[in-house]
Structure 1
């Protein structure tokens, strides 16, 4: 019996085979042939259409003449010197990313694995940016080793922290999302602090196929063609990997060696693409699934046909981007693929959920990752954290470009003090500090509620798409009506966040608001939001530094209007979040157990999510896309006081206020007189704790 006709056994007992593609034996008929011919036809058509698109109006006939019989004319020189290299680079990059995705899915036995979800793009991007700042000459000569090193380290971190071979697809996808956020924060910090050294890197960082000559093609084609060719020679070994590990070994397969080589090739060709055109996402997720669903599960067909479809998808995305070049200017291909890939991921999640909905280990997990051996009494903790928060606030008020003595701070707060100090404290430092503290409390409360609602310890407003939706709402309003009052920005943020949440919940409703569905759809919506934000920043010609600062999360320049927006949010929604405690405690059980205890699971999950979304969107409106507070604070709270929601909720809120207030203070003093955005500081502080958290939870099998 051929490998394509065998029922694929899971590699381990703990990770079920949930691949949405059907095996070739299930009556696929002519579908594989149509997929092959369709890919070829689409590739040929899109290639020619791509060469006609741009600022200059060029016909297909002129394109053919320029290729077959070139002449020394402006149109022919433009086609052969600019458009043709761009299209060929799109073909190469699309093929590389598709094959990389197919290999990663085979090696990890994870249908959600790709260069995007495993953090390869983010890791390669970070190292290339760092190299362009600190070693520009070396980077110019050895850009590929830089990119490969970053991509490989990121993929290893995601795979290890996601549980390795025991990790579930959703957990590894979440791990990749969070590692990507951490790496992106480091990248944003480097760009903000070294704007002159990385001028133009923002457009490249969104994934752009722009080529001014054949240098990129000449550099990349030997690696990509050679890597794909080497993989095609090893298709029999890859087929055996689809069997269970015991069966593969019994057939004489060196499983570990094959996996290492296949993953190395996947990372290599993906990083070659990143080093030339920047991080372009979702190609490695879409193309292999299109091919697998046709019934082509044997790698002799899967690899070349995936390459074919990957090339067609990327060239098609770039063609779409250039259709609007007259009206909107140059659009990055990476943003277009994200817009295409987000709905695809949602559709893929719907297919996967049919197979995993009954499996509790995929859909949810324990909310506990351990606790202190001897817990500090709850009243003592509340008092200590409250005192710590006040101490940080006072310290922050004294610090800055101008040091203000503590006696003067206390005098001003009591209604007296020097007039200059009064102006600095009351007009600048105090409102900024209050916004940071209140936004940190709101984000921590939102994360605590969301982790319970989606029953996943890696839940976070940024992960499930709420923060991205709020950011889209704010930037859309700023671009559409630049002269609008700042008071309308919270309205736009709330509408954007609610729309993103509505998409997530409406898609997940038919699956009973299954935590797996909620999280996967949230990742997709978050990716689409990031793509829209990048498009808005580029097309509105915003200054990169302010845009990056906002997307990273910044408390710079916050004043009393933002304080008055945050105060009612905190005073109204935090008590509601605490009051929901008993119901939230029941959500941590399986849906069946919660329903048996009389809880209306979907309704309660919806109520909890609404409160969490409102908290997160109001925070995003006032401080931008600050990440990790909603992830770190609830976990630290549960480690301190246990999983009882009302107690952990209060501790989480206090910790959130402490974290963001501390980040604001550190960001103001670490590189004075410049400011480092608070969101970047929280990411830098949270990264070590995140690694510890995920390592510990993977050891417990969560």
Structure 2
């Protein structure tokens, strides 16, 4: 099984390297050499792929099995297991590459692919739902499930990204946010139904494992037929790359061509994903490799991209199998993600030179609106403080055992019955305090990062901090379990700081440009997600704690975590507050801020250090809780405006309320089981973010 790819809506024009201009015909020998190079690479990698695996089969046996097969174990292994797997890689790689090519052409977005646009996440969720609630139907109709999930995800990204007015950055951010939402739901479903979805996590990481020819037999007619149809329409696709008015003046039915090309892209991507799972970045890497050679005409671009996509995926699968003896087989999707993340970073740096991706378009306006009649700041502080207290008290009374309010107050004042005291002091109170303090830390981290990258969608997850912290935490939990769990926060901080260091070091030479920061953060997040999936797959029966962490959970938190979070909040929040005036100046353009005497890069670095520490320590204690770092700062700015010091205080209070409420809801909604807090925050945050991005796209931001 596998997941479909997503679509990216029409966005800002593609940089010159990616716009197929009719003046560039791709004539001459260069296209032929690039095609021959791709074919040679594919043939070599395919042969090497046949030599890799658990069974120790000689190269001579592989050649004999291909030329003159005999009824031997080795030859049957080659022809019945390894060869279909290699052919599957060839077909899937070609499909994903062609789908990415079509997406980039139709949307005029150089960042469009099955990964950056989140189609994989939509298909993965749809297949997970089918595995749990309709397993028999899914077994017969996995493709429709994948297509529906991927198509709906693509439509959501298209709408949230501003449709045809969306910039490449906004589309990429929309895809990232949709992926976060859908991945949270998928993690929760897998965590709560582990017996029903056995094996789906390996498939969800992208695996080419085949035990016979059935998968290839299902796949090849769809993919070959889809690519053949596209090849018949290459002239229409060439015209489509011109601006819309010119295309129409040439008689092009622009809307019909776009729908046709995007439908084929979604179909062949979803066919691939329905069999081998969500394998990312092939649709981003292969078309760019070919376009870099100067090919722009789709008559060359599509077949050569297919060749290179096949070579990349077969090569990634070969790498995955080459380490099988030492670590167990790695998912091919994890390998392509680790290859694709550096590629996305390089691409972000490259397109930063293009006029379409200048700083003004990259850094979205920080304006999220405000109330016409603003409530006094002190009144808001009192209101949200009272609300936080009410949520905390209500949470303490709720659970499998209902505790009267009078007993809660008695226990908190040092009295009360022993049973109630044990439940409250040992279980509910520390968990509640961890949730509240972590919510404050995440909210303030989001507020600081949004100011640092000058983008209202800045968030610890988007910038890659949460993913890095997750890698550090899971390495400790899964790879070296003999180390004491008390080192978990240290591992998470090291991972989060390491991810942030990559993002900032790569972006430093571009003056920490908000566009580059965000795109590099997305790439680092993707790499972190791939490594996390890899660790969970390798964990086998130890996957439950890792899945709980990925979904974001406050379950089982005790007083040690309370002291860690309390120390973090008491030390770092005042530092963030003291940065107030300098953070306010970051909301202007870099030139204006510098003219006012602000050392922009240095201040961004200070702000980032505080934000990264807050997010990393929070992630170590509550896992990958999303959306609070987006929701709380937005709501705070609506209430008090862009004044950072005031907005930060309101963000902290709102973050505490949100995560404490999510923890409370998660404990009572499916008692006696716990729903991870991260799922609840995703349910709360997704509608708000949908509204926010839709409104921003209507205003033309």
TM range (shorter): over 0.9
Alignment map for 1:14-29 (pairs within 5 Å): 15-21=12-18
SS at match of 1:540: helix
Verify the 8 A CA contact 1:126 1:186 in the aligned structure 2.
yes
1:579, 1:534 → 2: CA distance?
38
1:406, 1:19 → 2: CA distance?
66
Verify the 8 A CA contact 1:451 1:460 in the aligned structure 2.
yes
Verify the 8 A CA contact 1:549 1:677 in the aligned structure 2.
yes
The 1:355–1:229 alpha-carbon spacing in structure 2 relative to 1, beyond 3 Å, is same
| TM, length-normalised to structure 2 | 0.96
Q: Please give the per-residue CA displacement for 1:605-648, whole angstroms capped at 9, x wherever unaligned.
A: 11111110000001011111111110111111111221211111
Q: Counterpart of 2:3?
A: none
Q: Counterpart of 1:3?
A: none
Alignment map for 1:266-281 (pairs within 5 Å): 266-281=265-280
The 1:599–1:641 alpha-carbon spacing in structure 2 relative to 1, beyond 3 Å, is same
Q: Counterpart of 2:687?
A: 688
Q: Please give the per-residue CA displacement for 1:571-608, whole angstroms capped at 9, x wherever unaligned.
A: 11111111111111111111111111111111111111
Q: Counterpart of 1:224?
A: 223
Q: Counterpart of 2:646?
A: 647
Alignment map for 1:48-197 (pairs within 5 Å): 48-197=47-196
Deviation at 1:446, TM superposition (A): 0.3
SS at match of 1:541: helix
Q: Please give the per-residue CA displacement for 1:154-178, whole angstroms capped at 9, x wherever unaligned.
A: 1111011101111100110010000
Q: Counterpart of 1:383?
A: 382
Alignment map for 1:371-410 (pairs within 5 Å): 371-410=370-409
Deviation at 1:415, TM superposition (A): 0.3
Verify the 8 A CA contact 2:85 2:210 in the aligned structure 1.
yes
SS at match of 2:242: coil
Q: Please give the per-residue CA displacement for 1:53-76, whole angstroms capped at 9, x wherever unaligned.
A: 001112232222222222111111
Are 1:263 and 2:262 an aligned pair? yes
Alignment map for 1:171-570 (pairs within 5 Å): 171-356=170-355, 359-570=358-569
Q: Counterpart of 1:8?
A: none
Verify the 8 A CA contact 2:14 2:356 in the aligned structure 1.
no
Q: How many residues in Structure 1 have an aligned counterpart in Structure 2?
A: 691
Verify the 8 A CA contact 1:356 1:363 in the aligned structure 2.
no
SS at match of 2:540: coil
Alignment map for 1:663-702 (pairs within 5 Å): 663-702=662-701
Verify the 8 A CA contact 1:472 1:529 in the aligned structure 2.
yes
1:447, 1:647 → 2: CA distance?
15
Deviation at 1:357, TM superposition (A): 8.6
Deviation at 1:374, TM superposition (A): 2.5
SS at match of 1:176: helix
Deviation at 1:568, TM superposition (A): 1.2
Q: Please give the per-residue CA displacement for 1:165-223, whole angstroms capped at 9, x wherever unaligned.
A: 11100110010000011011111122122222211101101111111111111111111
Verify the 8 A CA contact 1:434 1:563 in the aligned structure 2.
yes
The 1:626–1:188 alpha-carbon spacing in structure 2 relative to 1, beyond 3 Å, is same
Verify the 8 A CA contact 1:467 1:616 in the aligned structure 2.
yes
Q: Counterpart of 1:588?
A: 587
1:144, 1:535 → 2: CA distance?
25
1:29, 1:577 → 2: CA distance?
59
2:398, 2:251 → 1: CA distance?
66
| Worse-matched range after superposition: 25-34 or 329-338 | 25-34
Q: Counterpart of 1:47?
A: 46
1:242, 1:611 → 2: CA distance?
44
Q: Counterpart of 2:6?
A: none
Deviation at 1:484, TM superposition (A): 2.2
| Runs of 5+ unmatched residues, structure 1 | 1-10
Verify the 8 A CA contact 2:352 2:358 in the aligned structure 1.
no
Are 1:630 and 2:629 an aligned pair? yes
| Runs of 5+ unmatched residues, structure 2 | 1-8
RMSD: 1.7
Deviation at 1:480, TM superposition (A): 4.2
Deviation at 1:29, TM superposition (A): 7.3
